[in-house]
A and B are shown apart, each in its own frame.
Chain A
Amino acid sequence: MSTLCVNGNEQPVIEIKGLRKTYDRKRYVLDNLELKLYSGDMTIIEGKSGTGKSTLMNVIGLLDDFNEGTLCIDGIEINKKTKRKYSIIRAQKIGFVFQAYHLIEAISVKENIMLPFLYSNINVNNDIKQRYDKIVTDLGLGELENKKVALLSGGEKQRVAIARALIKDPKIIIADEPTGNLDMENTKIVIDVFRKLREMGKVIIIVTHDISIATSDDKRFYLKEGKLMLC
């Protein structure tokens, strides 16, 4: 069992104890995982392909179930009773950036970024419009707003996916290879955005092979044989 606690006294935003996940009941992809993440943590998770990084992201992001253990997101224990609230928790607290972007190609950049509000009780008011303008400006998407996503390059799509993850100002941001298709300049822009968010107290979890984006302030973990090891 690997026990990794980061920061001491405050309540963790994400707390995992003894988490186990299997697809076929023969091999555990995640095996007795323990993790605590606090506000302002930027956590980099590395590992070879097929070691379960995406599975861990999916479990933390409530996109997939786990078989054993406990998971708490912002004080809410995740179990069968709270399963109905997964969508609400995702909507309110978690922003996703996927490796394959997972954008809706048929609609415009703006529609994709604003998609989370379709399933939210939050009315799109001036504050949100201002937030939208800022995110679009910071990520250099101003000229692409009304363009159909299908017409964008990989790097542009990645920035749209990041904008979508940030638009609802979530507490937790889970990013799977967020800079995978970006050039150096855009990689810097994206990482700068994440760092600003960290300073604002967000919890950032990044799965990446690009170790150059990590700094000494970040927590780096290596996933191997279902277990997280501190780098």
Chain B
Amino acid sequence: MLGIKNNIMFIRHVLMMVFSNVPRLILSICGLFVGLLVLTTGNILMNSYYDEAMNRACEFSTNNISVLLEADDEFEKKIISDIDTMQVELKRVSMSSESIYSEQYSNGNICSLNAKVVGTTSMDSENVLMKYNENTTIPVHGNLTKGRFINQNDVSKKNNCVVIDEFTASLLFGEEDPIGKKVILGVGNIGMENVSDEDNVVDDEKDNSFTVVGVFDNYQVTKSNQLEYEKFRVVDNGNIVMSTYIYVPYTALDENGFQEDAQDYLIWHYSDNSGYEKGLQVLNDYKTVYSHKYSKFELMTKDDMKSAVKKELRPIKLFMWLILSALLIISGINSMNTMFFSIKERIGEIGIKKAMGANATDIIVQFLMEGIFMAYIAAAMSLIVGGIVAELIGKGIQSMLFINFKVNYSMETVLFTLIVAGIYGIVFSFIPSYYGAGRKVADALRFE
């Protein structure tokens, strides 16, 4: 082993040799850079897509348990009383959507907004629930920005009140304060924005007007609809139908006959782990005993949703990794070629160093260190450029395809790139280094 001072001298010497020939350095880094750029950009985009999907699916409080149930009221009451009557929230979601808005644009295209009406008990918590599979969506609510949520008083008095999201409020009411305004369900013919009309196909027996008492912000739904709406205004692509969720007291739904094909969700909100664990245990027992009896008895926790998302995204991730790996290998082979030529050019230098007492290992270590150092320069460049490219691609996806895509950067991406760069530098420098180290001293000196 060399002494510490000698090691420092050696490292300094390696760095000097790396920078001694700038054209050679640039050529070597270019090959490494391309591979690492593709890896970094691909990784950022893939993680962003993954995070986006996970966020959509898993904006779910850790201490919530959700049960999707198709059963009679007696059974629902039994479960509720067995577990916890205090923490439970009922959501009754109609399977069909109600039209609440319609607009005809100057080119004749029609934009409609349909709402899944969610009957609920009081919305005390600000949890957002959404299952990844859109065939069985769970209603969403988010942070309150105006007014209030549905409360126990609304439920007991069967008030026709409604809580809507920010996009819906801006679409229906523009700049005006939506609190106190009316949303009418089942309307939405051309030119009939939120106004009851004899010519509408509205069931006269239903009171289909609901007063807005609150507005909430749900990033996912709002952003998607905003993009959809922008696309409608910018691209002549025919009619569009957007969808959202609105919340009314479930008793008002029952009263007005909107619950004919509704599905019930029971959601338990826990503030502590022990209650959560106990509740989960009881529900699992219920599922074991009763799931064969009822056509729908699904239990969902945050972990369940995450697993479902991961399972769906796994093939996509695997496919992307295959492509990235192939590109990385091709780029690595190119780098190896460049390194080979570089070492061949320096055979004389190898001969001199061996004459001075270097052995084959010293030569290999020197060139491996050079390869790793150049790989890390390429990694730093790829992280900066990759981040910019990913951001541009994300913006392009949003502006050209009107798809909500937010680019996320994480320390994980940085560490991953740095680790891969190190391995890359070692693997694709080793063979050229080994070749160089194997030259006979006299032959190498003659080469110069």
Contacts and interface: CB of A to CB of B under 8 A. Distances in A.
Interface of A: 58, 61-64, 84, 87-88, 90-92, 96, 98, 100, 102-104, 106-107, 111, 114-124, 164
Contacts of B354: 63, 87, 90
A111 B6 contact: no
Contacts of A92: 357
A111 B359 contact: no
Given A63-B354, A63-B442, A121-B1, 8 more contacts: A58-B442, A87-B354, A87-B357, A87-B359, A91-B357, A96-B355, A102-B352, A119-B359
B10 A118 contact: yes
B9 interface: yes
B6 A104 contact: no
Interface in B366-420: none
A219 to B, nearest CB: 25
Nearest to B16: A107
Interface of B: 1-6, 9-10, 13, 16-17, 20-21, 348-349, 351-359, 362, 440-442, 445, 448
Nearest to B8: A124
Contacts of B353: 115, 118-119
Contacts of B356: 90-91, 96, 115-116, 118-119, 164
Nearest to A115: B356
Leading 8 A-B pairs by shortest Cβ distance:
A91-B357, A106-B20, A64-B442, A87-B359, A123-B3, A119-B357, A63-B441, A119-B358
B442 A111 contact: no
A100 to B, nearest CB: 7
B36 to A, nearest CB: 27
12 contacts: A63-B441, A64-B440, A88-B357, A90-B355, A102-B348, A106-B17, A107-B17, A111-B13, A118-B9, A119-B353, A119-B359, A124-B5
A121 B3 contact: yes
A123 B359 contact: no
Contact of A106 (B2, B3, B21, B357): B21
Contact of A98 (B16, B21, B445): B445
A80 to B, nearest CB: 15
Contacts of A98: 355, 445
